[in-house]
Amino acid sequence: MPVIEFVLDGRSRVATYMQLVLQVKQALRVGLLRPGDRLPRVREVAQSLAINPNTVHKAYRELELEGLAEGRPGVGTFVVNTLAGPSLASQGELREELVVWLGKARKAGLSREDIAALIDTTMRSDFEPPAPQDLAAPADSRGA
């Protein structure tokens, strides 16, 4: 039984292999995938999504290059690193605080778009310069 199952967004302009990479990273970030887990086999992914197996290989190679996964010949591709880091433990608490804050914002009359825009601009000014690039940054730089 594979730990995660991939889904594709047919309307997305993001390349298929990158969608797979991003889904693995997302799962790593929220702790759904942990070091030692086996990623779904290439054949399983190719078959269930009806996509070219070379695309799956490419995605897994990308994850290997980023140091997140490791291919073991004949066995499969395994997660060797994580993106969750120590933040995972405090995520629950932060989330609760965020919910409280969102309640306040709604009370103040902010719409969903207003809230998103506010968070976005605040994050931009706070993280400048430059915005962190999840895709390109090596995984171990933010490491454990």
- H-helix or E-strand spanning residue 49: helix 42-49
Name the segment binding other proteins (CB under 8 A); options: 7-15, 20-28, 73-81, 120-128: 7-15
Q: Is 110 in the site for other proteins (CB under 8 A)?
A: no
Reported as half-sphere exposure (CB side, CA atoms, 13 A), residue 49 has a value of 23
Q: Which is nearer to other proteins, 49 or 83 (CB)?
A: 49
d(CA 3, CA 41): 11
- Binding other proteins by CB under 8 A: which of 42, 63, 68, 69? 42
- H-helix or E-strand spanning residue 69: strand 69-72
- H-helix or E-strand spanning residue 70: strand 69-72
Q: Is 59 in the site for other proteins (CB under 8 A)?
A: no
Q: Which is nearer to other proteins, 56 or 83 (CB)?
A: 56
Q: Is 12 in the site for other proteins (CB under 8 A)?
A: no
- 23 φ, ψ to 5°? -65, -40
Q: Is 56 in the site for other proteins (CB under 8 A)?
A: yes
The site for other proteins (CB under 8 A) is made up of 8, 13, 15-16, 42-44, 46-56
